[in-house]
Chain A
Amino acid sequence: MNAKEIKALVTDWRVAALIILIVLSVIAIYPHIDQNGHVATNLQYGLDLQQGAWIQLELHAEVVGFTTDRPVSDFISNLSQSLDTNVEQVDANHLEIRKSFTQQELETKFSDAGGTLTNYQQGVSKTTADDVKSILENKINTLGTKDAKVNTLTGLNNVARYVRVELAGVDMNEAQQIVGKQGKFEIRVQTTGNATEHVIFGDDITSVQTPTQVPAGSNIWGVQFTMSQAGATAFQDAAIKYGATDDPDKHYLIMLLDNKTVYSAPLSTALATSLKTQPVTQLVATTGSGTSGSQQATNLEIHLHAGALPVDVSVAGSGGTSAPLGERYKEMALLAGIIALITVGFVIYYRYREPSIVLPMILINASEVLILLGFIALIKFQMDLPTIAGLIAVMGTGIDQLVIITDEILHEGRVPSPNLYLKRLARALGIIVIAAATVVIAMLPLALMDLSTLKGFAIITILGVLVGVIITRPAYGKIIMETLSK
């Protein structure tokens, strides 16, 4: 092939697209030597390929459908009492019950309260799931653990039953401590200048409501919380003793989580007056108006919980890999990929005995894996062992389809006329598209469902098939035509 022909080949859009993608992938993967002199890349690894631990928590709550002839708020408060737990309304006909109950138990309680249970699902609503996620993230962040991921596993019905916490670089025990640890919440009162005095700790706060507008419709947001009798008395004593009731503006009340200020405001005049005569158990901390006020109220709610989750949880699964084992798995996985490519190369060579066919095939196959890796690096997808199996599977199907193209084109004698060539290529691509469609369809349920590690595997397999059909097969068709017409 002379320079002119190479130029013509490279500028063909199919081949050009492939080359551009390869270059972009290498940039995305970014192989380089890090400070320690090791070869490093932008690829991220899952917890079976590096040191780390994961914990999966089951959320003990239910999301249920209901109907009732009574006013909904009456029905809910009635249920909340008889079930002795928080009952939140999710939407017009769904409730979230924040405690573990069986369907039978709930059916009875519902009919007692004057309603009917229309469906039953274990888990929490999307909103609560998001709360759980931010509470856990907050907790992990305050402990200074980096590289943590919290994911709620939400099913197709928008109900989340599990939350998965992944912590890189820590072992199983540390991970359990971090997730299980409660933050230290404290309310202090300003005495003189910057000096403060202790008022109560978080264990005196008995319940925290979700953020509301106070008063309703004012667009000023706040979080209502309730203190125990002892807490309320302590709060009153401190407010009187340090002068907060006489001069609220000079004696702010400060809320701290793990010794960091999360909220600070004076007593309202009304509250200051009533505290002079009696303890108050229910307080509202207002955070401001509009979106920022609402956002701050949400954060404050989480802080008031001091890292406690709104529902009970239990450990549904956990696991961890030590650093040396993860390192070894990584090396082995790389080795498996390389050896698989070489073995496949031998089989292909045995069949065609023609370097001008075998070489493009292997290069196309390798470039497919490279493009996939580039994509994985770009979306910061964490590669784990099933993903690597998926990559090797993509290599297998990839080479299969190149064989189909080659055999269709080579069918009955060697050099087909351009016309015949195109017809045969179209026929080969027809077979490939059907085969690709079946793989995509077969993997789709896994990609949509939350079957922990299999999701990644399915997404990578689907992506691999798509990269193959859209990018690399057409390029191969072009390259093989050029080589065969020699």
Chain B
Amino acid sequence: MGLINYNIEKYSPQQLVVIPLVLLVISLVLLALNMATTGMPVTPGLDFSGGTAVTIRTTDSHEQLQTVFADYPLSDISDMNDAKFLKFGTMDDAKYRSLSTLVSQKYPDASISQISETFGKSLQYQAIIAMIFSFIGMAIVIFLSFRTFVPSIAVVLSAFADMVMTAAVMNIIGITLTLGTTAALLMLIGYSVDSDILLTNRVLKRQGKLNDKLTGAFHTGIIMTSTTFAAATALFIVSWFGSIQILIEISAVLLIGLVADIINTWLTNVGILKWYVLKGGGK
């Protein structure tokens, strides 16, 4: 049973780890490059950089919209199914009020939001703190649960690689870091360790041949990831049709992260765990 035949018997731990390791290095380089240009590993979106965003449902073309909003610092228009997503630069209070009047008169089907630069900065700062604490907290739980160094570090490393790879892909396809995507990344911390914990538990606490245990764990783990993947796909498709930007972004980040999770659980984590058991650790 299963779509993929998981046969890792013939690969050595080194061979297993090499692909994700290369991906991880590439991802880190990409994040570093982004850091050099924007000052953040992942490009901050509206919530963190400040500005005004307007979502409207309209059939007006980009040119028409540009004419309508000619008096305002319109910086970007993007399409989402049947909705348009407009970004504006910073403007003063009076200008913002006149913009929101214009929007509500012209497009009754609209939502508008505005974040000041200082508020964005303080949100960004808190979001970073939250992520660091989440990650450290997760690592502590893992170490307390397994109480052995190598298997624990394997889980933590896999979760770290998940986040880094996801962040790199976000940069490539242009998903910015917002409150929504921060939430999604934090959700990934929780999701990604699920299958790692299952794997480690099966390998270290069960009797039997290593390869049987790995195959059994894969059998269960891949279904776990598939169900989550299915839920996230449903969310993605529906929010795409509904043009709900925040849900599109959250589900997209989850999907990317789950793919990274498959790579990191079944190559990185398995590789390290196999090396550890073959070396005589565990049972």
A43 to B182, CA, bound (A): 26
Q: Are A339 and B111 in contact (CB under 8 A)?
A: no
Per-residue CB proximity of B240-266 to A under 8 Å, as 1/0? 011010110011001000000000000
Contact of B114 with A319 in the complex, beta carbons under 8 Å: yes
**In contact, B235 and A438 (Cβ under 8 angstroms):** no
Number of interface residues of B (CB under 8 A): 77
| Cβ 8 A contact of B97, one of A176, A389, A411 | A176
Q: Are B228 and A396 in contact (CB under 8 A)?
A: yes
Main secondary structure of the interface of A (DSSP, over half): helix
Residues of A within 8 A of B220 (CB): 403-404, 407
A484 to B183, CA, bound (A): 38
Inter-chain contact A172/B112, CB cutoff 8 Å: yes
The reply to whether the CB of B26 lies closer than 8 angstroms to some CB of chain A is no
The answer to whether the Cβ of B115 comes within 8 Å of any Cβ in the partner chain is yes
Cβ of B110 and Cβ of A438 under 8 Å apart? no
By beta carbon, the residue of chain B nearest A443 is B186
Given A407-B219, A407-B220, A173:B250 Cβ within 8 A: no
Docked complex Cα distance between A392 and B183 (Å): 13
B137 interface neighbour in A328, A407, A442, A451, Cβ under 8 Å: A442
User: Which residues of A44-68 are within 8 A (CB) of B?
Assistant: 48, 56, 58
Max chain A Cβ within 10 angstroms of own Cβ: one of B55, B123, B145, B227: B227
Decide: B97 and A332 in contact? CB cutoff 8 A: no
**CB nearest neighbor in B for A395:** B231
Chain A residue with minimal CB distance to B103? A172
Interchain nearest-CB distance for A176 vs B (Å): 6
- The answer to whether residues A316 and B118 also contact, given A343-B233, A400-B194, A451-B126 and a CB cut-off of 8 A, is yes
A interface footprint on B102-128 (CB within 8 Å = 1, 0 otherwise)? 001000111111111011001100110
Q: Is A161 an interface residue (CB 8 A)?
A: yes
The stretch that binds B, out of A13-21, A103-111, A429-437, is A429-437
Contact A58 B141 (CB under 8 A): no
Bound Cα distance from A397 to B188, whole angstroms: 11
Q: Is the CB of A389 within 8 A of B183?
A: yes
Contact B242 A329 (CB under 8 A): yes
For B246, list chain A residues within 8 Å (CB): 48, 385-386, 389
Contact with B116, one of A317, A328, A430 (Cβ below 8 angstroms): A317
Cross-chain contact A441 with B179 (CB below 8 angstroms):
no
When distances are taken between beta carbons in the complex, the residues of chain A under 8 Å from B116 are: 58, 314-317
Q: What chain B residues lie within 8 Å of A335 (beta carbons)? A: 238, 242
Q: A319 touching B112 by the CB < 8 A rule? A: yes
- Closest residue of chain A to B110 (Cβ to Cβ) is A322
Interface pairs A-B: 8 shortest CB-CB? A319-B113, A332-B242, A439-B190, A441-B137, A316-B119, A336-B238, A396-B228, A340-B234
> In the complex, given contacts A342-B234, A386-B246, A431-B198, what are 17 additional A-B residue pairs having Cβ atoms less than 8 angstroms apart?
A162-B119, A173-B100, A322-B104, A324-B108, A333-B244, A336-B234, A340-B234, A344-B230, A347-B226, A385-B247, A393-B231, A407-B219, A442-B190, A445-B129, A451-B126, A451-B179, A454-B130
Q: Which residues of A are interface residues toward B (Cβ below 8 A)?
A: 48, 56, 58, 161-162, 171-173, 176, 314-322, 324-326, 328-329, 331-333, 335-336, 339-340, 342-344, 346-348, 351, 385-386, 388-390, 392-393, 395-397, 399-400, 403-404, 407, 411, 427, 430-431, 434-435, 437-439, 441-446, 449-454, 457-458, 461
